[in-house]
Amino acid sequence: MTAPRPQRRVFIKSYGCQMNVYDSERMADVLAPLGYALSESPDTADLVVLNTCHIREKATEKVYSELGRIKAIKRERAAAGERMIIAVAGCVAQAEGAEIMRRQPAVDFVVGPQSYHRLPELIARAHRGVDELLAADFTPHEKFDALPSARGATGVTAFLSVQEGCDKFCTFCVVPYTRGAEYSRPSDAIEAEARTLTRGGVREITLLGQNVNAYQNDRGGGLAALIRRLAAIPGLARIRYTTSHPRDMDDALIAAHGEVSALMPYLHLPVQSGSDRILRAMNRGHTAESYLRLIERVRAARPDIALSGDFIVGFPGEREADFAATLALIREVSYAGAFSFKYSRRPGTPAAAMASRVDEAEKDERLVRLQALLEDQRRAFNAATVGRSAPVLFEKRGRHPGQIIGRSPYLQAVHCAGPDSLIGQIESIAITAASHNSLAGERRVMETA
Ligand code: 5AD
Ligand code: SF4
């Protein structure tokens, strides 16, 4: 009889965007056949993977401080005669490469987002103590072809990566350099993955891409054609997609919002600024006016659609009048939710060389004003749902006994008393209260005894 293979443990920590969350799950899939089970903490892990984000300076620095902590654990484990491998993945890996190992020699290898299928080989080489452990090329098709395609579903909702990379070159952004050119996954592979997920109990899929609406369908059509195809999968009740660029919102996608009932009425469409002067300096390829007209067209197709966005304050050269234009645009659109950031200078991007930097105190002050307005809008949006009912897809148990939690079509968390059997189901729930970041609801039809 052969002894069972000793269980190894991997701790994977994701930073940044949902694409990294998806990639971390795929890394876990690649590692499972090697005997790696997921660990909740680095303390007991044989392999630690930090899946990093490079988008703003703060995100990058977080990784180095985490590496300092993990290095201390590695040292303790080594004193006990145990080997721990530390890997850095994601966009910092892609952007900084071998520099990471120079800055933190406890790191065993560095693997960029297109090379996760090479993890088994990189781990084996790290165990053998081979030098030069850097895998950071730009071949997304190889990545998608080589990663295992059938995944076990783990919940009611799932991410599905359909597109990677960006050709837009906004002057502030590192993504075109860390994730490479736009690449769309073949639609058959996407459909197969969606079917596997749905068979495993997934009811809602969020299609992911750095520029997801730039998706080019190999069977013709863009993202709209893909969404229509996926909407036909039995059991798949909800489809979302993120993140989009205003330039790629084509007529077919707008029409799909009005016609495909599984496509949720919530659209994340970043505008970044409301000032045409700043939008031009950002190389966004749209104006405030063209963005507003686009929103009008989307709302004409789907009147109940809710909008979300990303905003940057303090881009080089941003004056009070530019910032006021951003506030005016926000008032005109009215967002259900949004992300907002202070401009962070990223070496190597065109904006990093731009003069007239806005000072930190000014950025802080603008961010506070911007976030106060966005917060008011979010609160008003949530409050408007009280007294109405919403179809809620239940995802999990809540913290209190007998409580379950789901989401409305607008991504609002809804808490409600109900049986576990509702998890995975959609039920119309009466919304009774709105708190800071969730809604409380009641079932209208109580179960009969
Ligand atoms: N500084 C601040 N925010 C940034 N973003 C991207 N690059 C930067 C930067 N250098 C923001 C944009 C983008 C979101 C993902 O992150 O708003 O839409
Ligand atoms: Fe970055 Fe602009 Fe591409 Fe978005 S569209 S990933 S902000 S370069």
State in Å: Cα 36 to ligand 2 middle. 35
Give the pLDDT score at 216. Answer: 94
Q: Which residues line ligand 1 (CB under 6 A)?
A: 55-56, 172-173, 270, 272, 310, 312, 341, 343-344, 346
Model pLDDT, residue 449: 40
What distance in angstroms lies between residue 85's CA and the mean position of ligand 2's atoms?
A: 33
Spatial distance between the Cα atoms of 296 and 29, rounded to a whole number of angstroms: 42
- Beta strand pairing call for 85-89 and 413-417: unpaired
Q: Which residue, judged by its Cα, is nearest atom 2 of ligand 2?
A: 170
Q: Atom 14 (ligand 1): residue with closest C-alpha?
A: 310
- Look at the pTM and tell me if it is higher than 0.85: yes
- Per-residue pLDDT tens digits of the chain, which is 449 residues long: 444 555 899 999 999 999 999 999 999 999 999 999 999 999 999 999 999 999 999 999 999 999 999 999 999 999 999 999 999 999 999 999 889 999 999 999 999 999 999 999 999 888 887 665 667 666 666 666 666 655 665 799 999 999 999 999 999 999 999 889 999 999 999 999 999 999 999 999 999 999 999 999 888 889 999 999 999 999 999 999 999 999 999 999 999 999 999 999 999 999 999 999 999 999 999 999 999 999 999 999 999 999 999 999 999 999 999 999 999 999 999 999 999 999 999 999 999 999 989 999 999 999 999 999 999 999 999 999 999 999 999 999 999 999 999 999 999 999 999 999 999 999 999 999 998 789 999 998 654 44
- 3-state SS track over the chain: CCCCCCCEEEEEEECCCHHHHHHHHHHHHHHHHHCEEECCCHHHCCEEEEEECCCCHHHHHHHHHHHHHHHHHHHHHHHCCCCCEEEEEHHHHHHHCCHHHHHCCCCCEEECCCCHHHHHHHHHHHHHCCCCCEECCCCHHHHHHHCCCCCCCCCCEEEEECEECCCCCCCCCCHHHHCCCCEECCHHHHHHHHHHHHHCCCCEEEEECCCHHHCCCCCCCCHHHHHHHHHCCCCCCEEEEECCCHHHCCHHHHHHHHHCCCECCEEECCCECCCHHHHHHCCCCCCHHHHHHHHHHHHHHCCCCEEEEEEEECCCCCCHHHHHHHHHHHHHHCCCEEEEEECCCCCCCHHHHCCCCCCHHHHHHHHHHHHHHHHHHHHHHHHCCCCCEEEEEEEEECCCCCEEEEECCCCCEEEEECCHHHCCCEEEEEEEEECCCEEEEEECCCCCC
| Domains of the chain from N-terminus onward | 8-139 (3.40.50.12160), 142-383 (3.80.30.20), 389-443 (2.40.50.140)
Q: What is the pLDDT of residue 151?
A: 60
Look at residue 98 in the predicted model and tell me its pLDDT: 85
Q: How far is the CA of 53 from the centre of ligand 1 (A)?
A: 11
As for ligand 2, residues whose beta carbon falls within 6 Å of it are 166, 168-170, 173, 175-176, 210-211, 245
If you measure from the C-alpha of residue 210 to the centroid of ligand 1, how many angstroms do you get, rounded to a whole number? 12
Residue 395: predicted pLDDT: 97
The pLDDT of residue 127:
86
